[in-house]
Structures are given as structure tokens and as C-alpha cells.
Chains A and B, each alone.
Chain A
Amino acid sequence: DTAVSQTPKYLVTQMGNDKSIKCEQNLGHDTMYWYKQDSKKFLKIMFSYNNKELIINETVPNRFSPKSPDKAHLNLHINSLELGDSAVYFCASSSNYEQYFGPGTRLTVT
């Protein structure tokens, strides 16, 4: 059984488009995260939700909007995509300070 799943796995789109990435966890965790991993593998936290409530919002452009319809899901919507948004986006869920990562979504903006 997949613990943390993300869709899609790959996303290729043009500048200016709007796209969404979905994340689901079946671990029963209360806390979920979005991370961005750039081409140099640097991993940076973007958002975190605890029980559907936004608790961490790092200095991310407001073109990025997370949504948590329930504690098992955390989606990421990106408006007006830019070249610099190209990266791998990882969703994670957390319990007892351990993080469980999804497989990642490789976003390529052309």
C-alpha cells in the first residue's frame, strides 16, 4: 500500500499556465507538507498543514496556493507558472517528528 501518493508524477506545461498537484496519505497523520527540490537537490519547505489548518507558510510567491480538504489530502495549485518553478515537488506527512515522503512530482515549465 502506498503511504504517501502524489499525482501526477510528471508535469510538463508552458509558462503562464495554471496547474495543480495532488497529494494523499493513508497513514492517518495530522500534519502534511509541501517541499520544493531544485536542480541542485536543495530541499526547501513551502507549506505545512496540521489537521487542515495552515501552520507553516514560507516565503513562497502567492501564485502558490495549498489546499487541504481533509487531513489526508494536501493539494498544491500554482497560477501563472514561470520557468523558475521547474523543480521536483515533494509532499510529506508527519507523525512523531518523522516525515514520510511521496514519490515527487517533476514539474517542467517551458
Chain B
Amino acid sequence: AQSVSQHNHHVILSEAASLELGCNYSYGGTVNLFWYVQYPGQHLQLLLKYFSGDPLVKGIKGFEAEFIKSKFSFNLRKPSVQWSDTAEYFCAVTATSGTYKYIFGTGTRLKVLA
């Protein structure tokens, strides 16, 4: 079955701490991978994406993610978080062709303490 797992449901960090959010997927075939962010009271926005090529992708606001095919993982990282990074983070996957269906993970709520 197609699924996306985000292991950390709630993460609390102090400002300047490093962040790593886990994402593992189960999806037949080649995939496109995404991280979306939802700030409090707002809609989802694309943080970064992986389609092909360099498995280390950089997104907005200093975020990056690494695709490890052998582990079916696409973990999100940021070396130093800020209070403004407080948000819900969603990992998502879709096939590279033939379908328009996205599977989202359950989300990770990040709270950054000032």
C-alpha cells in the first residue's frame, strides 16, 4: 500500500538548534518527493522538492532534504532553526508518471522556543 510515515509527531527545539525531521515512504516505482510547510492558520506552501538528480535538495528558508533511495527516506534538515519556523511540516510523495495522486504524511508539529 502507498504510504508516507513521519515518525516525529511533535518536536520542540530551542532557537539555533539543528533540526531533522524523518520521512519514509512506501510507493511502487519512481517517485517525486516534497516537503510542505503550514504556518499557524495558513495554507500549505512548498518548502522543497525532489524529482531526480542530486539527492540533496535545497529549499527556501535554509531547509534542505536528502533522498536516500535505499532507505526510502527523504528527511528534512535545517542547521539552525528560528522561532519563525514554528509550523506543521508535511512530507508528500507522488509517482513520476501516470497518476496525479499525492500521498501526504501525518505531519510533524515543530515548536521553536525563543
- Secondary structure class of chain B's binding surface, majority of residues: strand
A103–B100 CB distance below 8 A: no
Number of interface residues of A (CB under 8 A): 23
Against B, the Cβ 8 Å flags (1 = close, 0 = not) of A74-110 are: 0000000000000000101010011111111000000
Chain A residue, CB-CB nearest to B42: A103
B100–A48 CB distance below 8 A: yes
**Contact count band on B:** 20 to 34
CA distance A40 to B38 in the complex (A): 13
Which residues in A have some Cβ–Cβ distance to B below 8 Å? 31, 33, 40-45, 48, 50, 55-56, 90, 92, 94, 97-104
Which residues in B have some Cβ–Cβ distance to A below 8 Å? 32, 34, 36, 38, 42-46, 49, 51, 88, 90, 92, 94, 96, 100-104, 106-107, 109
